[in-house]
Amino acid sequence: MMGSMVEGNVRRTLDKFSLSTLLEDKRASVTELKALATAHPGVVAPVAFPVIIPALTASKEDVEMLRGIVETVQVCVIPEPLQGADASAVEEQAKANSST
């Protein structure tokens, strides 16, 4: 039940993103989507990616929007413990995993 509620919120946010004509409204939608992704990455990713990934090329002049989209994708695909980790820590973890 909770997943379907979140999915509904994601779809409404994506509608706002897609239908908005003002950049500020689109940016606000991306911020809202990122917040949803932080709490529910597994629900957000399959619903949002088909809409926001193509927006990366469409929004290439708006750095703030690009950053928000990339951060949303990052939240969905990188496990939480690795977010914010420095590159050497991630590299060490990858080496440890490959040697097992």
DSSP one-letter string for 19-63: H--SHHHHHHHHHHHHHHHHH-HHHHHHHHHHHHHHHHHHTTT-H
Q: Which two tokens stand for residue 6?
A: 């979140």
User: pLDDT, tens digit, for every residue of 40-78?
Assistant: 999 999 999 999 999 998 878 899 999 999 999 999 998
The confidence score (pLDDT) of residue 52 equals: 95
pLDDT at residue 96 greater than cutoff 80: no
* 12 alpha-carbon distance from chain centroid: 15
**Cα separation, 79 vs 65, whole angstroms:** 23
**Cα separation, 33 vs 14, whole angstroms:** 8
